[in-house]
Amino acid sequence: MFEPFTDQSLFVSSPSAPAAGGGALPLWNPPPEEALPCADPHLFPLKRRRSLLVRVGGVKIGGGAPVAVQSMCNTYTWDVEATLAQIGRLQEAGCEIVRVAVPDERSAQGLKEIRKRTDAPLVADIHFDHRLALLAAEAGVDCLRINPGNINGEERVSEVVAAAKDRGIPIRVGVNAGSLEKHLLDRFGGATAEAMVESGLRHVAMLERRGFYDTKISLKASDVTRTVQAYRLMARRVEYPLHLGITESGSLQTGSVKSSVGLGILLSEGIGDTVRVSLAADPVEEVRVAYEILKSLRLRQRGVNVVACPSCGRVQIDVDKLTLEVEKELAHITAPITVAVMGCEVNGPGEAREADIGVAGGHRRALIFMKGEKKGLVDYAQIKRHLV
């Protein structure tokens, strides 16, 4: 159980309900019965946290919009051709928002050319030097991501806010457990969930004092439980949209597991408006894993959902090989289709009937189903041809 915050200076005013006389109001917290349903009522009927609507380019964030998928280029932003090529691959995979690093002026200059040649919503990742945020805004990015742990000073924040207002772009307050302010580390005894939330709230308050509310927030740590705790706390204190992620989560395998657990918990509780699966891998894999997480909760439907049995001594077909081949052959399809690859007659017919198309292995031959109807028996050598 978490202790409530007692520092009233952290309770920033709600933009939808300004405080009378300029005083601070408790942050907006919707009763459970007022939570928004999933954008698609035919999907998983979980209740989603109500949040303000923010636009990143043409993508709606929060306000009941579908959970958006984001990734980040791992190219040097000054390498325009390489960055554009990767952005194109990310878009093809379904990425809806792309973040790019802007560590220096050379990268900011490259961003100008990138902006001219792609319609992808772009987020500029800014650390340490607020002037890079100004250059990125001038280049035409759709959102600025700033880290409150390493951009300090009221005057610097004022300049960034003015640039965002002039361009009509939102700011993401990106809190990271690895770069929290020293005084918060001392106060909370380390990079705790509470310290992360206070860092975010203090920076949001700085934006609000300047009349800026076009904001979204992220609170990332490499530890899953700490990240979940931080987002739960923040979700009770603000109505801004929340960008979810487990930072530095690891390789394709370990990072996918950690992100699936952390993001899955939060999304199942209705928390989260955008997601990024951070992996030490090709960014395209981040997009694929993100969609699998959202599809598993029925929050988004995109691409082929392959249902396959785990295999045992009863299987009559090579389920592992066939499943991989089917996934590869159908990777280009964006329509929501379910394909079942089942190895025997125990659960095979039932699962295959639930799929748009499916196969259930049998003695020497396999049974093909389409939309719940039996279509006939085929030899093992013909299974792949019938499925793809």
* Domain shared by 322 and 274, yes or no: no
Residues paired with 56 in a beta bridge: 59
Which of the four pLDDT bands, split at 50, 70 and 90, describes residue 262? very high
Report the pLDDT averaged over residues 23-49: 47
Residue 159: phi and psi, rounded to 5, are -65, -40
Final residue in a domain of this structure, among 296, 327, 353: 296
Residues contacting residue 387 through CB under 8 Å, at least 6 positions apart: 322, 326, 339, 341, 357, 359, 368
Q: What is the pLDDT of residue 13?
A: 36
pLDDT at residue 51 is higher than 70: yes
d(CA 122, CA 80): 14
Q: Are residues 166 and 64 in the same domain?
A: yes
Least confident of 40-44, 46-50, 375-379: 40-44
- Greater confidence, 357 or 26? 357
Same structural domain, 180 and 199? yes
Question: What SS3 string covers the chain?
Answer: CCCCCCCHHHCCCECCECCHHHCCCCCCCCCHHHCEECCCCCCCCCEECCCCCEEECCEEECCCCCCEEEEECCCCCCCHHHHHHHHHHHHHHCCCEEEEECCCHHHHHHHHHHHHHCCCCEEEEECCCHHHHHHHHHHCCCEEEECCCCCCCHHHHHHHHHHHHHHCCCEEEEEEHHHCCHHHHHHHCCCCHHHHHHHHHHHHHHHHCCCCCCEEEEEECCCHHHHHHHHHHHHCCCCCCEEECCCCCCCHHHHHHHHHHHHHHHHHCCCCCEECCCCCCCHHHHHHHHHHHHHHCCCCCCCEEEEECCCCCCCCCCHHHHHHHHHHHCCCCCCCEEEEEECCCCCHHHHHHHCCEEEEECCCEEEEEECCEEEEEEEHHHHHHHHC
Please check whether residue 54 lies inside any domain of the structure. Answer: yes
Final residue of a structural domain among 250, 278, 296: 296
Report helix angle 193-208 to 224-235, nearest 10.
Answer: 40
Residue 197: how many CB atoms within 10 A of its CB? 28
Q: Are residues 291 and 323 in the same domain?
A: no
d(CA 89, CA 322): 26
pLDDT above 70: residue 129 = yes
Is residue 103 in a domain?
yes
Q: Are residues 310 and 281 in the same domain?
A: no
Same-domain check for residues 231 and 355? no
Q: Examine the pLDDT at 22 and tell me if it is beyond 50.
A: no
- % residues pLDDT > 90 (the chain): 60
Confidence tier at 31 by pLDDT (50, 70, 90): very low
Is 1 within a domain? Answer: no
Q: Is the pLDDT score of 330 beyond 90?
A: no
Average pLDDT over all residues of the chain:
85
pLDDT given for residue 360 in this prediction: 82
Question: Which structural domain, as residue segments, surrounds residue 311?
Answer: 304-387
Which residues partner with 244 through β-bridges? 275
| 161 and 219 housed in the same domain | yes
The CATH number covering residue 374 comes to 3.30.413.10
Q: Which of 277, 296, 315 is the last residue of a domain?
A: 296
**Token couple for 283:** 């960014």
What is the average pLDDT across 330-349? 82
Q: Are residues 215 and 362 in the same domain?
A: no
Q: What is the pLDDT of residue 82?
A: 98
Q: Please name the residues in contact with 146: beta carbons below 8 A apart, sequence gap of 6 or more.
A: 126, 127, 130, 133, 160, 171, 172, 173, 174, 203
In degrees, rounded to 5, the angle at the alpha carbon of residue 321 between the alpha carbons of residues 319 and 323 is 65
Same domain, yes or no: 239 and 316: no
Q: Which residues contact 109 (CB under 8 A, 6 or more apart)?
A: 78, 135
In a domain, 3, yes or no: no
Residue 136: inside a domain: yes
Residue 132 lies in a domain: yes
- What is the arithmetic mean of pLDDT over 115-137? 96
CB neighbours (10 Å) of residue 43? 17
What pLDDT, on the 0 to 100 scale, is given for residue 111? 97
Residue 294, amino acid: L
Q: Does the pLDDT at position 301 exceed 60?
A: yes
Q: Is the pLDDT of residue 313 over 90?
A: no
Tokens of 193: 């969930």
- The answer as to whether 382 is a domain residue is yes
71 contacts: CB under 8 Å, gap ≥ 6: 90, 95, 97, 98, 99, 276, 277, 283, 284, 286, 287, 290
Q: How many domains does the chain have?
A: 2
Lowest mean pLDDT among 30-44, 48-62, 63-77, 285-299: 30-44
Could you tell me the CATH number of the domain that includes residue 24?
3.20.20.20
Read off the pLDDT band of 148 (50, 70, 90).
Answer: low
Is the pLDDT at 132 greater than 60, yes or no?
yes
Structural domain contains residue 237: yes
| Model pLDDT, residue 358 | 84
Same domain, residue pair 34 and 50 = yes
